[in-house]
């Protein structure tokens, strides 16, 4: 092992026994563990956030399989690289099995044409595909490839998992064993916590701390909590404003407002802002929630939300966080009614799908002279001419008489 390589690279596991975490798919009785051990792997897609061990798992497979193992990166590779790997797999002199395991990192970066080029070879078994992606494969990967593969969701590593890797790196010859390091377990645990499930972030932070700290008088590289905090810096948010986590987080934010939980609302708001979400995008979601979920139970919520959106566009970050928090909390703590939301949905459905009849003549427009002779506007009763500014008259078309769209106190069927 080249000790000039990054610590995170040197500490990649070589066997399944070295692999830390993901027990839900790599426990001894789990199918992925058994197929890797038996070297009977079929095509798989590994889906999970950065630093959770997708590439490390592929490395473990490469060390255990009897098949030719080829790795390409979708960012720098194309159809030509795929064809080259397949030609080498079919060369019986170089590869008697006639098969290869093709690991494609960031497979979601391949376009449809590139993904389609894999299909016939995955279909006939020439290629056993291992695709790794941080994006939801059900959105980003060709459905035909998905149907021919098993999808495994990898979770962010736990703090305890990352702590184990950090601890191991201190005594491993591939790690930092050559350095005389003094570090408290509490400091290692703090690095693990701040990395937020990304073991690469934790190892990089520890390595920077070691390489930039001078030895003390006793000959130790003493890594204090302050040094570790400075090297790892702020907690890494598992959030990609263009990726799957963006949709998960905004969904949780909206559902928390709808569910009248102000604490969860503020939490997901903070998570979005920390991840670089556009404040105006968040403000629009609050406006929609004010209309859809609060509605007539507190019409002022829409006024507050709209004012907040306008204020956010004028003020900008970081102060916009205060405005967004106020508006989101107001929506979350308001009484709820979706009667207007349900009403417009019913009306839109009727207008699009059934014969709703014609507008009654007495409420039609009659701007031109002579239209009254045709019945336009004839018989219309002006409500302000009547007590309480209301008067009984027909507004709905004949075919829609009696239809209810806005049901103020609509009951939920049991």
The tokens describing 242, both together, are 């263009």
pLDDT at 363: 83
Which pLDDT band holds residue 84 (cuts at 50, 70, 90)?
confident
Q: Decide if domain 22-153 falls under CATH 3.40.50.300.
A: yes
Alpha carbon distance 266, 323 (integer Å): 12
Q: Higher confidence at residue 411 or residue 24? A: 24
Whether the model clears a pTM of 0.95, i.e. scores above it, the answer is no
Cβ neighbours for 280, distance < 8 A, ≥ 6 positions apart: 309, 312, 313
- Does residue 241 register a pLDDT over 80? no
Buried/exposed code over 124-145 (b: 16+ C-beta within 10 A; e: otherwise)? eebbbbbbbbbbbbeebbbeeb
Which residue did the predictor score with more confidence, 244 or 79?
79
**Confidence class for position 369, pLDDT limits 50, 70, 90:** low
pLDDT at 235 over 60: no
* Helix H or strand E encompassing 306: helix 300-315
Over residues 322-358, the pLDDT tens digits come to 999 999 999 999 999 999 999 999 999 999 888 888 8
Do 22-153 and 244-333 show the same overall fold?
no
H helix intervals, 65-158: 79-90, 112-123, 137-140, 143-147
The verdict on domain 159-232 having CATH code 1.10.8.60 is yes
Query: Do the Cβ atoms of 368 and 377 come closer than 8 Å?
Result: no
Residue 9 CA to residue 19 CA, distance in Å, equals 14
Query: Please, what is the Cα angle at 128 between 126 and 130, to 5 degrees?
Result: 150
- Going by C-beta distance under 8 Å and a sequence separation of 6 or more, which residues neighbour residue 361? 375, 376, 377, 378, 379
Residue 68 structure tokens: 């030719």
Domain boundaries, the chain: 22-153, 159-232, 244-333
Residue 98 has pLDDT above 80, yes or no: no
**Sorting pLDDT into bands at 50, 70 and 90, what band is 305?**
very high
Average pLDDT of the residues of the chain: 86
Non-local CB neighbours of 377 within 8 Å, separated by 6+ positions: 361, 362, 363, 364, 365, 366, 371
Q: Which residues of 271-288 are buried (b: 16+ CB within 10 A; e: fewer)?
A: bbbebebebeebbebbbb
Q: What residues contact 135, with CB distance under 8 A and at least 6 apart?
A: 47, 108, 243, 244
Looking at residue 160, the DSSP 8-state letter turns out to be H
Mean pLDDT over 171-177 rounds to 89
**Average of pLDDT values for 252-272?**
93
CA distance 400 to 357: 7
Architecture of 244-333 per CATH? Answer: Up-down Bundle (1.20)
Q: Is residue 286 pLDDT above 70, yes or no?
A: yes
Helix (H, G, I), strand (E, B) or coil at 200: helix
62 burial via Cβ count (<10 Å: 0-12, 13-18, 19+): middle
What's residue 233's pLDDT? 62
* 14 pLDDT tier (thresholds 50, 70, 90): confident
């Amino acid at each position: 092992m080249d000790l000039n390589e990054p610590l995170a690279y040197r500490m990649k596991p070589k066997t399944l026994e070295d692999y830390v975490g993901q027990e839900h798919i790599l426990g001894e009785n789990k199918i992925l563990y058994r197929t890797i051990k038996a070297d009977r792997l079929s095509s798989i897609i590994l889906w999970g956030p950065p630093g959770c061990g997708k590439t490390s798992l592929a490395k473990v497979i490469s060390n255990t399989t009897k098949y030719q193992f080829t790795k390409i990166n979708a960012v720098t590779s194309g159809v030509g690289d795929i064809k080259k790997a397949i030609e080498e797999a079919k060369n019986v002199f170089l590869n008697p099995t006639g098969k290869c395991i093709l690991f494609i990192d960031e497979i979601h970066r391949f376009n449809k044409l590139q993904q389609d080029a894999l299909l016939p070879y995955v279909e006939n078994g020439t290629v056993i595909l291992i695709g790794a992606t941080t994006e939801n494969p059900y959105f980003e990967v060709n459905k035909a490839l998905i149907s021919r593969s098993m999808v495994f969701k990898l979770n962010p590593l736990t703090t305890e998992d990352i702590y184990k890797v950090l601890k191991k790196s201190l005594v491993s010859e591939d790690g930092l064993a050559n350095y005389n390091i003094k570090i408290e377990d509490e400091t290692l645990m703090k690095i693990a916590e701040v990395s937020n499930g990304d073991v690469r972030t934790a190892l990089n932070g520890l390595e920077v701390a070691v390489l930039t700290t001078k030895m003390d008088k006793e000959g130790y590289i003493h890594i204090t909590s302050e040094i570790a905090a400075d090297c790892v810096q702020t907690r890494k948010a598992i959030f990609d404003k263009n990726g799957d986590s963006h949709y998960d987080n905004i969904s949780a934010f909206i559902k928390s407002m709808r569910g009248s939980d102000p604490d969860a609302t503020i939490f997901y708001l903070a998570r979005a802002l920390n991840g670089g979400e556009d404040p105006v995008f968040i403000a629009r979601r609050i406006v929609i929630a004010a209309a859809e979920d609060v509605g007539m139970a507190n019409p002022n919520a829409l006024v507050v939300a709209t004012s907040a959106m306008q204020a956010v566009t004028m003020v900008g970050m970081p102060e916009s966080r205060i405005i967004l928090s106020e508006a989101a909390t107001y929506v979350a703590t308001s009484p709820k009614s979706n009667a207007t939301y349900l009403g417009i949905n019913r009306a839109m459905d009727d207008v699009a799908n059934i014969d709703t009849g014609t507008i009654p003549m007495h409420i039609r427009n009659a701007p031109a002279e002579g239209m009254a002779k045709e019945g336009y506007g004839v018989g219309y009763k002006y409500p302000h001419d009547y007590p309480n500014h209301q008067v009984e008259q027909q507004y709905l078309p004949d075919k829609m008489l009696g239809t209810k769209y806005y049901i103020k106190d609509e009951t939920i069927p049991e």
